[in-house]
Chain A
Amino acid sequence: MKTRPHPSLVAGAVGFAVVVLVALLAPPLLYDTATAMSDTVRGGSSAEHWLGTDSLGRDVLARVLVATRLTVVLTTVATVLAAAVGIAIGTAVWVSGPRIREVGLRIIDIMVTAPTLIMALVIATILGAGPTASVIAIVLGGSPSFARLTANLAGSVAGRDFVSTARLLGVSPARVMSRHLLPNIAGPLTVLFSSAYAQVLVALSGLSFLGLGVQNPQFDWGSLLNGGLRSLYTTPAEALGPAVAITVTGVFASLIGDGLAATIDPRERTAPRRAPAVTAPVTPKAPEPGALLTVTDLSVELDSGVRLVDSVSLRVAPGEIVGLVGESGSGKSLTAMAVARLLPDELTIRAACLDLDGLDLTSTDSDPARLATALGIVYQDPSASFNPALRIGTQLTEVLRVHGKTTRRKAVARATEALRRVHVRQPETVLGQYPHQLSGGMRQRAMIAAAVLPDPRLIIADEATTALDVTVQAEVLDLLREINDRGTGMLFISHDIGVVGTLCHRVVVMYSGRVVEELTAAELRAGRARHPYTRALLAASPTLDGSAPGGRLATIPGRPPAPADRPIGCAFAPRCPLAVPRCAAEPPPRIGGVACHVVEAAQEVPTR
C-alpha cells in the first residue's frame, strides 16, 4: 500500500508555504507603507487601513506582513541552531563511554526541565535585550530536547542487530552514528523539529512581546503585539493582526509535525472504514436443558464482515470440564471471550443461543452482579492480567465488595480462604502485596483464587497454563482439577492437546474459527480421534508418558488460512493429506461429532 501524506501534513505545508511567500514578497512591496507615518494615530480599522494604524499612524496590516520576514528568519535560525547543537550533543553523549553517557544523560534531563524563559532572562541580562540574546537563549533552552531525543533513540536503535554487526566489524562510533543511526532516527527528529519550530516561534515572539527581543526600529510580530496591547482599549484591531499571525503560523508548524508523526507512525493513521456487512439475523434458540453453558451458532465478526469465529456450538454440563483446543488464531480464545462478553467493541457477536445457567449472555443489559459472580475467568497471562497499581487483596475482594455487598472484613476473610484453597502459604501477606512482588506461579494461583472466590458456576480458563513453566503448569492443572471436584463447570482453552486430554472430560477441536471435531477425552487419549486435523495435532504433540508416537514429532505442513481467506469448503483441506476434491468445494457438515467429508465417507479411519 502506498503511503499518502497525512491531511494535516498537506494543510500545514501549504499554509506554511504561504507564510514563506509573504516573508519573501512583503518587505520589498510594503516596507514603505509599513514605515510611513501619518496623522491618523491609533485609527481603528477602516477601508484604507484594514487593521487600523499604530501610535505613529503607521498601517498595522502592512507592518504585520513585513514583520513576517524577520519573525520567520529568526525562528528558523533559532530552531536550526537548537536542533544542530542538540543533535551534536546527543551524538557526543551517545558515542562516548558508558560512564560519561550516564552523566551526560542526567545533565540533559535536568536541562530539559530548566525553564527557557529563565535562561532567556540570564542571556538578556548579559547581552542586553535584543534579537541575538533571544536566539541564543532559545538555542540554549531548546537544544536539550533534541539532545535527549537523539541520545535516547540512538540508544534504542543501537541495540538492534545491524548496529551490533557494524560495530563488530570495527566501524568507528562516529561512522556508526552517521551511517547507521541518524538515518534510522531521522523520522522522530523531523517531528520534533516541526513542533519545536512552533514552540520557538511562540517563545521568540513572547520575548519580543516583553520588550526583550527585537528592538525599535526593527519589528517582528511579538513587538507589534506589544504595541497593540498598549492600545487595546482604543484600537483592539492593532493587536489582532500580530496575534493571528503568530497563532496561525504556529498552527501550521504543529500541523506539519502532527502530520509527519502520523505518517511515520502508522498507529496514528486512521484506517479506511469499510461498510459493515449485512448478515442475516440469527434465529434465537432455547438453551439445551440441563446444560450449564449453551453456545449455539456463535459467530464473531469484524466490521468488514470477516468471521473470526464461524458458527461455533458447544455445551458445558454442570461439573464438566470441556477443553477447547486449536492452534493460535483458531478462534478458541475469541470464543471464550465472546462467552465472557469481554470482546473489544470492534467485534460483533451473533449467536442463536448464548446462555449461562439461565443468564442470557447476548443481551447487553443482563445483571452485572449475577454475571460477575456466576462466571470466573482465569486469564492467559497472569503478569499482565493483574493491575500493577493495586494490591492483590484489593483486586481479589473487588467482586465480593462491589457485587456481593460484602463488608471489607468478610471479603478479606474469604479471599484469605480462597488463597489457602489454591495452596498459597501466608495468604495474609500476599493480599497486602502488589502483583510485581509475586512469582509467575503465585500470580496464576492468585488469579485462580480470584476466579473461584465468588463461587461461580462456570470457570473459563483461557490458556491458563501457557505462560507458566512446566512444573508450575502441573500444579495449576491439579488446582483446576480440585476446583472442578467441587462441582464447578469449566471451559478450558489451550493449544496443547496433550494437556487438554489429561484434564478435560470432553474436547472440542477448533480450526480456523470453526469446530472440526468434538469427542470425549477418553477417545482422544485412546487415539480414536477421527478428524485429520485432530490426528495431526496429536501427532505433533509429545505424549505425557514421554514417548512420541513414531519416535519423532510430526509437524503440520503449511499454515492455517487467515479468516478473510478461508476457503468455501473445509478450511483444513489445503493442509490435509487425505483431502479429496469435494473438500475444497463444500463445507463438511458435523456428523457424529466430526466435520469431515473423508471421515464421513469412510465412517472410521483405520487406527494406527
Chain B
Amino acid sequence: MTGWIGFAVRRAAGLLAVAVVLVVVTFAMIQLIPGDPAESLAGQNATQADIARIRAELGLDRPLLTRFTDYVSGLAQGDLGRSFQTREAVSDVIATRLPFTAELAVFSLILVLAVALPLGIAVAARHSRRADGAFTLTTGLLGAVPEYVVGTALVVIFAIMLGVLPAGGAQTAQSLILPVLAISLPSLCVMARVVRREAGNVLSQDYIRTARGRRLPLLRLYLRHVLPNLLTAVMTLSGLVLASMLGGTVIVETVFAWPGIGQRVVDALLVRDYPVIQGCVLVLGLLAAVLNLLVDIALAILDPRSSLAGGNR
C-alpha cells in the first residue's frame, strides 16, 4: 500500500507542477506580447476610447500581480474569459468543441492499435528478410507523409474524384472516416515499427522458447505470451501518440473543417482572440499531461514487476 501512496503523491505532484506551469505560461504569453496588444488589437482606425476599453478588458490597466491573481481566481471558478470575437464564454467554446476533438483522437488511436499491433507482430513472426524490408520501406515512406498531405490527398481521392465521402464538416458518421484516416496514418506507421521491433525482441526471449516447448496453438502463443510483454512499449507510445494527436488534430481539423478545438484555436490565433487561445492552450496542455498520467498509472498497474500490481514482495 505504501507503494501506491508514494506513487500517487509523486504523480499528483507532477501533474500539479505541469498545471502550474501551464497557468503561468498562458498568463505570461499575453503579457509578453511586444508593444501594446490593445493598440494592435484595436486596429489603425481605433479611437483612444476603443483602446482603453480593450485594455481594460485585457486587464492591462491593472498591476501585474493583480492581473495574475484575477486570472487564477477566474480559472478556479471555471471562468476562462470571453471571446473578443464572438463574446461567447471560452469555457462554453471548449465545452462544445472538445468532444469533437476527443472523438477524432480516440477513434484514431483505436485504428492505430487495431492495425499496428497485428501487423507489427506478424512481420516480426515472419522472420523473413523480404517481408521485413518491404515493411520497413512502406512504413518509412508512408510515415513520412504529413497528416495534412494525407488529408488533402484523401479529400481529392474520396471526396472530389470518387465523391463517396464528405470532404468536410461533422454532419454524418461518414464525415469521421477521412479525418481519422489522415490523423492515424503517420502514427500508425511509427507504432507498427515499434511493435515490430519490440515483438522481435520478445520472440527471441527464452520464455518464448519455453512457450513453444509447450506446443501451444499459435494464436495462444501470440496473444498470451507475446502481447502482454509488448504492452509497456505500446502503452507508452500510445500516450505519446494521443498527445501528438491533440496537436495533429489542429491541422487535420482545418483541412476537414472539423468543428474541434484545434480548428477553433487556429481561427482565434489568426484574429488574435487572446482569451480563446489562452483557454484552448491551457486545456490542450492539461489534457496532454493527464493522458500521460493515465498511461503511467495503467503501466504501473499492468506491469507485474511494479510493486503496485498486487505483488507481495
Interface residues of A (CB under 8 A from B): 106, 110, 113-118, 121-122, 124-129, 198, 202, 205-206, 209-212, 225, 228-229, 232-233, 236, 239, 243, 246-247, 250-251, 253-255, 258, 270, 273, 340, 342, 345, 368-369, 371-372, 375, 377, 379-381, 384-391, 394-395, 398-399, 402-403, 433-434, 436-437
Contact = CB atoms under 8 A, between A and B. Distances in A.
Contacts of B272: 125
**Which 9 pairs from chain A and chain B are nearest by CB?**
A117-B247, A368-B215, A389-B228, A384-B206, A115-B247, A372-B215, A434-B304, A202-B146, A387-B207
Interface string B115-152: 00000000000010100010010001101111011001
B214 interface: yes
B91 interface: no
A246 B311 contact: no
B213 A377 contact: yes
Given A116-B247, A229-B152, A232-B155, A250 B160 contact: no
B65 interface: no
Nearest to A340: B213
Interface stretch (B72-80, B93-101, B176-184, B262-270): B262-270
Interface stretch (B1-9, B27-35, B54-62, B82-90): B27-35
Nearest to A229: B152
Given A246-B149, A250-B146, A270-B133, A122 B25 contact: yes
Interface string B209-235: 111111111001000110011010000
Contacts of A128: 33
Interface of B: 14, 18, 25-26, 29-30, 32-34, 127, 129, 133, 136, 140-141, 143-146, 148-149, 152-153, 155-156, 160, 167, 205-217, 220, 224-225, 228-229, 231, 239-240, 243-244, 246-248, 250-251, 254-255, 265-266, 269-270, 272, 274, 277, 280-281, 284-285, 288-289, 292, 304-305, 309, 311-313
A206 B207 contact: no
A270 B281 CA distance: 46
22 contacts: A115-B284, A115-B288, A122-B26, A122-B29, A124-B269, A205-B146, A232-B152, A232-B167, A258-B136, A368-B215, A371-B215, A372-B215, A377-B210, A377-B213, A379-B210, A381-B206, A385-B209, A385-B210, A402-B220, A403-B214, A433-B311, A433-B312
Q: Please indicate which of the listed interface residues B213, B266, B272, B285 has the most CB atoms of chain A within 10 Å of its own CB.
A: B213
B269 A113 contact: no
Contacts of B156: 232, 236, 239
B281 A243 contact: no
Nearest to A124: B269
B269 A129 contact: yes
Interface centre among A106, A118, A253 (most CB of B within 10 A): A118
Nearest to B216: A402
Contacts of A371: 215
Contacts of A247: 144-146, 149
Contacts of B251: 117, 206, 209-210
Nearest to B250: A117
A221 B56 CA distance: 40
Chain B, interface SS category = helix
Contacts of A384: 205-207
B157 to A, nearest CB: 10
A254 B144 contact: yes
Contacts of A117: 246-248, 250-251
A557 to B, nearest CB: 33
A232 B158 CA distance: 13
Contacts, number: 193
A273 B220 contact: no
A202 B147 CA distance: 9
A302 to B, nearest CB: 15
A121 B133 contact: no
B144 A387 contact: no
Q: Most chain-B Cβ atoms within 10 A of its Cβ — which of A124, A125, A372, A391?
A: A125
Contact of B144 (A251, A340, A391, A398): A251
B32 A126 contact: yes
Given A232-B155, A250-B145, A434-B304, A118 B285 contact: yes
A97 B206 CA distance: 39
Contact of A437 (B29, B205, B209, B311): B311
Contacts of B247: 115-118
A131 B172 CA distance: 37
B243 A115 contact: yes
A115 B244 contact: yes
Contacts of A114: 243, 285, 288
A437 B312 CA distance: 8
B156 to A, nearest CB: 5
A211 B207 contact: no
Given A236-B160, A247-B149, A402-B216, A385 B277 contact: no
B149 A243 contact: yes
A601 B21 CA distance: 87
Given A198-B144, A402-B217, 19 more contacts: A114-B285, A114-B288, A115-B244, A202-B144, A210-B254, A225-B152, A232-B167, A236-B160, A243-B149, A243-B152, A247-B146, A340-B213, A342-B213, A381-B206, A384-B205, A398-B211, A402-B216, A434-B309, A436-B304
A128 B284 CA distance: 20
Contacts of A206: 146, 148, 251
A371 B309 CA distance: 35
Contacts of B311: 433-434, 436-437
Nearest to A115: B247
Contacts of A211: 266, 270
A121 B29 CA distance: 10
A449 to B, nearest CB: 13
Nearest to B263: A210
A127 B144 contact: no
A339 B127 CA distance: 22
A233 B30 CA distance: 39
Most buried by A among B144, B145, B152: B144
A125 B206 contact: no
Nearest to A400: B214
B187 to A, nearest CB: 13
Given A122-B281, A436-B305, A113 B239 contact: yes
Contact of B18 (A110, A228, A345, A387): A110
A248 B229 CA distance: 36
Contact of B229 (A250, A258, A342, A387): A387
A255 B153 CA distance: 22
B305 A372 contact: no
Contact of A225 (B127, B149, B288): B149
A387 B211 contact: yes
Contact of A209 (B18, B148, B217): B148
A270 B129 contact: yes
A254 B148 contact: no
Nearest to B283: A118
Contacts of A225: 148-149, 152
A202 B141 CA distance: 13
A606 to B, nearest CB: 45
A589 B189 CA distance: 57
Nearest to B231: A389
Contacts of B244: 115
In this complex, the member of B152, B270, B289 whose beta carbon has the largest number of chain A beta carbons within 10 angstroms is B152
Contact of A389 (B25, B216, B292, B304): B304
A387 B152 contact: no
A273 B288 contact: no
Nearest to B309: A434
Contact of A129 (B160, B240, B270): B270
Contacts of A399: 214
Contacts of A377: 210, 213
Contacts of B18: 110
Contact of A121 (B144, B208, B277, B305): B277
A500 to B, nearest CB: 23
A368 B212 CA distance: 10
A409 to B, nearest CB: 20
